[in-house]
């Protein structure tokens, strides 16, 4: 079967030497990713209306299975906030969580097929201005969404990225309601945590070997647990909503009960296939977007094979659905945390999955002592690094055609959600591409060698589309009577039918004006012989050669 062939061939290509030789970087990074992943997995499961442990299952499969099969060296996969609404609606529509799991399995098969069909190429069509806007937008959202958790107000679930929230509030109104429920204990933990993280980033700290071995976020979490225990007997004690809450099993049988199996009896239910296709398409799109963004953040600028990623995600979703997990995608928050924590290879993603399953089995009670305020401080730093002011300055210097799509993408993501924001950003980027193509003039000049005879030359570029039809028409209309015009299509590969029609009509009309028309055709593919399609390059001397048309 293609799936098993892919697994075996991928595992054979794993170079154990290259993976393990970076363990000193990957192991500390995996711990930080694990700490960030735990509340995100639980929060997304809660928002999805699914059992909490289903988020942990998806995180484990995303780390170990997808991490091993993926071609991405730094991407981290797991349950995604972008799918939470889809999952919640699907569970309600299908009537049971186990029926939904069947849709996840089938969706994984569809996703693998998309990889086989090489649909991953879609990811390469997103402009860099939109991808960078996505990263900055996510960074700003992380900061805005974590501020309430930092102050001890935890009504919105961890991992939320959408502007509108399930409780009827939104990202900004939540900041107002937060002021009515500030928890002194959470604020103290947040401030201390931020001071430690900022200190850990200072150059003099990086020169001390001991501090390079121990990650600042790990120190922050351990200190947060200690402060939480100290506060328990005081008036600033944290409540149950302000700490991690992972399901705890009393024995092995109870642990097994945390897993679920799909209801295969629903294989002939059409609604299951509709949900499966929805999951496959949305999860694939979100994965490709995050994949492109992760590659841009990679300090080594490695390029991930997109089709391999879709196949890996598909297999991950099949396995996740079979044992009771949520749908999986590559996720930018965990991926960027991995990069910023010093991860070098895919071993950091795999290890984070191993740590997640070990801790969920062995020490869930210890994990349930981690304050969300400590994790908020860690994510503040992640968000800041994604949305640094220097990036805004860089994009501004590149010009409006880059800066505006970048800014619009950020605003759209902040005020809607990830996929909608990307869609709006893409629309603006495409508008600027079309505008640039429309305004880009074609070469229209007086032939220097034949200046005395009044010869004009219009030189078409490689690609000519209807976008410049009006400019070409205007240039032809500006040729005076009793002159000669040379329409040079020798360099043109594609010429739109509309443009060919204009030239043919001009030839007929030129006879009435005593204008001599000469057409230089492309070898074997003449202007008239091959109607074609796409874009026109033009450089036009509007002041000297193209007078405004007279109404007379």
Confidence of residue 523 (pLDDT cuts 50, 70, 90): low
**544 pLDDT higher than 50:** no
Which residues pair with residue 129 across a beta bridge? none
* 98-142 pLDDT tens trace: 999 999 999 999 999 999 999 998 888 888 899 999 999 999 999
The pLDDT score that the predictor gives to residue 404 is 96
Q: What string of DSSP letters covers 383-447?
A: HHHHT-HHHHHHHHHT-HHHHHHHHHHHHHHHHS-HHHHHHHHHHHHHHHHHHHHHHSPPEEEE-
Could you tell me which residues come within 8 angstroms of residue 237 by beta carbon, excluding any fewer than 6 positions away?
A: 185, 231
Number of Cβ within a 10 Å radius of residue 4: 9
Instruction: Give backbone dihedrals phi and psi of 326, rounded to 5 degrees, phi first.
Output: -75, 165
* 342-364 pLDDT tens trace: 999 999 999 999 999 999 988 99
User: What average pLDDT does the segment 468-496 reach?
Assistant: 83
Could you tell me which residues come within 8 angstroms of residue 59 by beta carbon, excluding any fewer than 6 positions away?
A: 37, 38, 40, 41, 78, 79, 353, 356
- Do 404 and 275 meet the contact criterion of CB atoms below 8 Å apart? no
In terms of residues, how long is the chain?
A: 552
Confidence of residue 15 (pLDDT cuts 50, 70, 90): low
Average pLDDT, the chain: 87
Confidence of residue 9 (pLDDT cuts 50, 70, 90): confident
The fold of 443-545 is: Transcription Regulator spoIIAA (3.30.750)
Give residue 95's region: left, alpha or beta (phi > 0; psi -120 to 50): left
Q: What string of DSSP letters covers 321-361?
A: HHHTPPP-EE-HHHHHHHHHTT--STHHHHHHHHHHHHHHH
Could you tell me which residues come within 8 angstroms of residue 9 by beta carbon, excluding any fewer than 6 positions away?
A: none
Overall pTM > 0.85: no
* 25-78 pLDDT tens trace: 999 999 999 999 999 999 999 999 999 999 999 999 999 999 999 999 999 999
Could you tell me which residues come within 8 angstroms of residue 252 by beta carbon, excluding any fewer than 6 positions away?
A: none
User: What average pLDDT does the segment 250-254 reach?
Assistant: 82
> How much of the chain exceeds pLDDT 70, in percent?
90
* 197-212 pLDDT tens trace: 999 988 888 777 777 7
Per DSSP, helices labelled H in 14-96 are 16-20, 23-47, 52-61, 67-69, 84-94
The pLDDT score that the predictor gives to residue 535 is 32
Nearest to 262 by CA among 50, 105, 48, 52: 105
Greatest pairwise CA separation for the chain in angstroms? 100
* 363-398 pLDDT tens trace: 999 999 999 999 999 999 999 999 999 999 999 999
> How much of the chain exceeds pLDDT 90, in percent?
61
Number of Cβ within a 10 Å radius of residue 469: 17
Strands 516-520 and 484-488, sheet pairing: parallel
- Do 237 and 185 meet the contact criterion of CB atoms below 8 Å apart? yes
As a whole number of angstroms, the distance between CA 212 and CA 116 comes to 42
* 440-451 pLDDT tens trace: 645 665 555 544
Confidence of residue 524 (pLDDT cuts 50, 70, 90): very low
Quick one: 399 exposed, middle or buried, by C-beta within 10 A (0-12, 13-18, 19+)?
Answer: exposed
Domain coordinates of the chain in residue numbers? 23-114+180-371, 388-439, 443-545
Nearest to 86 by CA among 264, 329, 309: 329
- Do 101 and 321 meet the contact criterion of CB atoms below 8 Å apart? yes
* 159-185 pLDDT tens trace: 888 898 877 889 999 999 999 889 999
The pLDDT score that the predictor gives to residue 310 is 96
**246 pLDDT higher than 60:** yes
As a whole number of angstroms, the distance between CA 210 and CA 193 comes to 19
Strands 443-446 and 455-459, sheet pairing: antiparallel
The pLDDT score that the predictor gives to residue 449 is 53
Tell me how far the alpha carbon of residue 23 is from its chain's centroid: 27
Tell me how far the alpha carbon of residue 61 is from its chain's centroid: 20
Q: DSSP 3-state assignment of 518?
A: strand
As a whole number of angstroms, the distance between CA 312 and CA 57 comes to 16
């Amino acid at each position: 079967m293609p799936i098993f062939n892919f697994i075996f061939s991928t595992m054979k290509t794993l170079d154990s030497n290259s993976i393990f030789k970076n363990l000193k970087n990957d192991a500390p990074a995996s711990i930080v990713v694990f700490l960030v992943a735990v509340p995100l997995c639980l929060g997304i499961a809660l928002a999805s209306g699914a059992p909490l442990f289903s988020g942990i299952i998806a995180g484990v499969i995303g780390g170990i299975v997808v991490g091993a099969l993926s071609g991405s060296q730094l991407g981290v996969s797991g349950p995604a906030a972008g799918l939470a609404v889809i999952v919640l609606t699907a569970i309600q529509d299908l009537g049971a969580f186990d029926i939904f799991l069947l849709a996840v399995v089938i969706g994984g098969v569809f996703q693998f097929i998309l990889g086989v069909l090489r649909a991953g190429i879609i990811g390469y069509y997103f402009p860099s201005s939109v991808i960078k806007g996505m990263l900055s937008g996510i960074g700003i959202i992380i900061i805005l969404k974590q501020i309430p958790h930092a102050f001890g107000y935890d009504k919105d679930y961890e991992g939320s990225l959408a502007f509108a929230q399930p409780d009827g509030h939104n990202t900004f109104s939540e900041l107002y309601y937060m002021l009515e429920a500030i928890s002194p204990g959470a604020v103290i933990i947040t401030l201390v945590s931020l001071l430690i993280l900022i200190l850990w980033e200072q150059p003099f700290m990086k020169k001390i070997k001991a501090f390079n071995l121990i990650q600042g976020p790990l120190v922050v979490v351990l200190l947060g647990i200690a402060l939480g225990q100290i506060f328990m007997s005081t008036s600033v004690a944290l409540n149950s909503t302000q700490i991690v809450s992972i399901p705890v099993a009393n024995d092995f049988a109870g642990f097994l009960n945390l897993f679920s199996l799909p209801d295969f009896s629903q294989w002939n239910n059409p609604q299951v296939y509709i949900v499966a296709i929805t999951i496959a398409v949305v999860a694939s799109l979100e994965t490709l977007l995050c994949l492109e963004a992760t590659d841009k953040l990679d300090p080594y600028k490695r390029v991930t094979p997109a089709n391999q990623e879709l196949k890996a995600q598909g297999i991950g979703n099949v396995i996740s659905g079979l044992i009771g997990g949520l749908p999986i995608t590559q996720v930018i928050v965990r991926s960027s945390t991995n990069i910023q924590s010093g991860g070098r290879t895919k071993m950091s993603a795999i290890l984070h999955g191993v740590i997640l399953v070990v801790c969920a089995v062995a020490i869930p009670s210890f994990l349930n002592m981690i304050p969300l305020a400590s994790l908020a401080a860690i994510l503040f730093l992640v968000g800041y690094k994604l949305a640094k002011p220097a990036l805004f300055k860089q994009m501004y210097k590149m010009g409006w055609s880059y800066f505006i799509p970048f800014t619009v993408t950020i605003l759209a993501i902040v005020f809607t959600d990830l996929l909608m924001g990307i869609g709006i950003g893409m629309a603006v980027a495409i508008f600027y591409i079309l505008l640039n193509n429309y305004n880009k003039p074609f070469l229209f000049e007086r032939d220097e060698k034949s200046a005395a005879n009044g010869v004009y030359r219009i030189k078409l570029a490689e690609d000519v589309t209807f976008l410049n039809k009006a400019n070409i028409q205007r240039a032809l209309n500006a040729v005076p009577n009793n002159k000669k015009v040379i329409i040079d299509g020798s360099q043109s590969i594609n010429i739109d039918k509309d443009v060919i029609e204009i030239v043919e009509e001009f030839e007929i009309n030129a006879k009435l004006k005593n204008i001599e028309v000469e057409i230089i055709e492309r070898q074997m593919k003449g202007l008239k012989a091959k109607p074609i399609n796409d874009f026109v390059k033009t450089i036009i001397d509007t002041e000297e050669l193209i007078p405004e048309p007279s109404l007379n």
